[in-house]
Structure 1
Amino acid sequence: MVDSTRYSRQMLFAPIREAGQEKLANSTVLVVGAGALGTVICNHLVRAGIGRLRLIDRDYVELSNLQRQMLFDEDDAKQAMPKAVAAKNKLEKMNSTVSIEAIVGNATNENINELIKGIDVVLDGTDNFSTRYLLNDACFKHNIPFSYGGVVSSRGMTAFFIPNETPCLRCITNEGTGSGHTCDTVGVISPAVDMISSLQTTETIKFLTGNKDNLRHTLKTVDIWYNQQYDMKLSNPDPSCRTCQKNEYPALQKTAQNSEVVLCGRDTVQIHHKSSMDLEYWEKQLAKVATVQRTPFLLKAAFHETINLVIFADGRVLVQGTEDPVQARIWYDRYIGS
């Protein structure tokens, strides 16, 4: 039996009632990323009475996170707490009846099958498209709905993908053609995060409570600062899609993981995700947040934290100042994106 006192207002909502609340209590979700999107998603799901929550994140709390990552506080930042652990600590105080599993780590094609085992919906709280494609491919291979969301600046987009019923993320986006805009290069405002993550959670709750007829079935894009929004109907899948039509699932292939290579003895990790990079473009982008130096052959961006990014026209990026591939990937995603 669900706690009719705790969830009384939610159970008064006609589409949910007691039957829907019971379905939520018997559901398990995976949230990948405990940053801006992920903390809002987890907050809503735990307060709503989800039965089990699995959360994975590779990063730790920093002071700059507190402006928009709602589950963290100054003590978490001072202690450099892993985000997954800090989030779990807060969530358990909100609702002790929810089973919460916190994993400090990176979602990869080596562990994704284990991460999605027993999961009813996967929710995207990530900050890069390579991980999103991984989640998309795993979800469509194993017939699990995928709640996608992304935010930068004052704009964001979201869609709820269901295998065998809707196209997938690959059908509506082009891999490797991102703008390079990230929260660390062009900023982000918290209300935009709240809006997108709330939409992600709402579609998830509709699905889990059996209200599939009310799902939006669009890719929704909003810009809350410039007062723009539109919905693109999720039409038929792309016949050439390697995921939902050809069942190739490229992100799950061992050779397609875009591995990070540690350069022995150089305190450097090489990341090669793009086929080419416009050095002039990236000079303008990174000059906002780093000291940059461009030559005909490369671009070097120096940050105060003793980390340098060295970008080559052939798409290679050297992350100097660490030999930890996970930390290197964090820096790459933060300033280069997908």
Structure 2
Amino acid sequence: MSERYSRQELFTPIGSSGQALLAEKHVFIVGAGALGSSNAEMLTRAGVGKITIIDRDYIDWSNLTRQQLYTEEDARQYIPKAKAAENRLRTINSEIEVNGIADEFSAETAGELLQNVDIVIDGTDNFETRFIMNDITAKHNVPWIYGGCVKSHGISLPILPGETPCLQCLIDQIPQEGMTCDTVGIISPVVQMTAAYQTTECLKFLTDHPMSTEMVYFDIWERQHSSINVKKLLNPTCSSCSSHATYPYLTKEKGIRTAVLCGRDTVQVRPSATIKLTLEDLSIRLKPISQKLHQNRELLVFTVEEFRLVVFKDGRTLVHGTSDVSEAKKLYQQYIGA
């Protein structure tokens, strides 16, 4: 028994054999925000052999109340969440492999990203990405664990393709009140509770124990808890997981693609093809017209008029200060021109 994992190995359902299994596994986490960072830290400490975490955003001061891997200095320097997570997780456990990807989990990239992955954990904050995750995991027969939280409410559900209903099967059963952390807030304890359910089911699967078929929903502030066994809700004609699945959310878009970030007055703009920007050259070009400009190895932040633009080195850009897609595209083409 290794001293590092000794207390975990004393837990009979895991034991030394389960610990050995964990060391061989690869967990992919979509989103490095509150849920993603919490799951990532627990799995890193548990000794999972490889963890990959992807996120399209950078660290903001408003993240620090609940996104436990990050520091004030990360926020000052606009560090991409995935890269800050990678750096922090490597200091927690140098025995495992950690890879942070500062990019979007999209229909174009999902298939390649999930090669040789054992299980996927949902750390996102939007259903658009979740449905892509749902389709790609069904297509490649990879289990994933849905999780969501806002205010003091949390929800978690393991999804095992071919055995349990997928997200598309259950969409009418999952509470969707149109609320986000950016519009109604959130408290940190509900993040930890939701992540605890997700990580526990992940550890079960990785150590060859059956995952639950129940969806749990709780309000930690009001001390309310409920669960429902969803196994019988598997839809035999589901467009995402049945034998006749068409995987509707994996359709690839053409041209400049945009996404409005819910509740944040922000539009993401992505060029039609991946490009490699020289941030140094862009910085020189923008310096005479920008009110504020900050650059690090992964991104460039600048302000023009009332808008703040965050440009990643592959050309993907977050336009803060508008939810108008046309306006965001215009600003992108005017200042980035990619």
The yes-or-no answer on 1:168 pairing with 2:166 is yes
| Partner SS state of residue 196, structure 2 | helix
Pairs within 5 Å for 1:3-22: 4-22=2-20
Structure 2 Cα separation of the partners of residues 204 and 180 of structure 1: 27
User: Partner residue of 2:22?
Assistant: 24
- The residue identity in structure 1 corresponding to 2:239 is R
Question: 1:43 matched to which residue of 2?
Answer: 41
> Runs of 4+ in structure 1 displaced over 6 angstroms?
267-271
Query: Which residue is equivalent to 1:223?
Result: 219
Of 233, 238, 241, 1:241 maps to: 238
Contact 1:145 1:160 (8 Å CA) reproduced: yes
Q: How do 1:112-261 residues align onto structure 2 when only pairs under 5 Å count? A: 112-174=110-172, 178-212=176-210, 215-236=211-232, 237-245=234-242, 246-254=244-252, 259-260=257-258
TM-score by length of 2: 0.77
**Alpha-carbon spacing, 1:111–1:175, altered in 2? closer, same or farther (3 Å):** farther
User: Which residue is 2:83 aligned to?
Assistant: 85
In structure 2, how many angstroms separate the alpha carbons of the residues matched to 1:110 and 1:121?
19
Q: 2:73 aligns with which of 55, 75, 80?
A: 75
Contact 1:269 1:323 survives alignment (8 Å): no
Task: Tell me, yes or no, if the aligned pair for 1:308 and 1:320 is still in contact at 8 Å.
Answer: no
Counterpart amino acid of residue 309 in structure 1: S
- Structure 1 residue 182, shift from structure 2 partner: 0.5
After superposition, the CA RMSD in angstroms is 2.9
For 1:136 and 1:95, locate their aligned partners in 2 and report how far apart those are by CA, in whole Å: 30
**Structure 2: which 5+ residue stretches go unaligned?**
261-265, 271-305, 309-319, 334-338
Q: Deviations over 1:126-162 (max 9, x none)?
A: 0100100111111111010011101111101110000
1:269 deviates by 7.1
Task: Tell me the residue number matched to 1:334.
Answer: none
Q: Percent identity?
A: 41
Q: 5 Å matches for 1:267-278?
A: none
CA contact (8 A) 1:269 1:320 kept: no
Distance of aligned partners of 1:321 and 1:86 in 2 relative to their CA distance in 1, 3 Å threshold: farther
**Counterpart residue identity of residue 193, structure 2:** M
Tell me the equivalent position of 2:332: 323
8 Å Cα contact 2:106-2:132 kept in structure 1: yes
Q: Look up the SS of the partner of 1:135 in the other structure.
A: helix
SS in 2 for 1:101: strand
Q: Tell me, what secondary structure is at the counterpart of 2:332?
A: coil
Provide the C-alpha distance between the structure 1 equivalents of 2:172 and 2:328, rounded to a whole number of angstroms.
25
CA contact (8 A) 2:267 2:322 kept: no
Q: Who is 1:309 aligned against?
A: 323
- Work out the number of aligned pairs and report it: 280
Q: Which runs of 5+ in 1 are unaligned?
A: 272-302, 311-315, 325-338
1:48 Cα deviation from its structure 2 partner: 0.1
Could you tell me the TM-score, scaled by structure 1's length? 0.77
Between the aligned partners of 1:242 and 1:90, the Cα distance in structure 2 is 39
CA shift at 1:320, angstroms? 7.7
Cα distance in 2 for residues equivalent to 1:230 and 1:78: 40
In structure 2, relative to structure 1, the CA distance for the partners of 1:201 and 1:321 (3 Å cut) is farther
How many Å separate the matches in 1 of 2:332 and 2:222? 42
The CA distance in 1 between the partners of 2:98 and 2:7, in whole Å, is 23
Q: Pick closer, same or farther for the CA change 1:118–1:126 going to 2, 3 Å.
A: same
SS in structure 2 at match of 1:5: coil
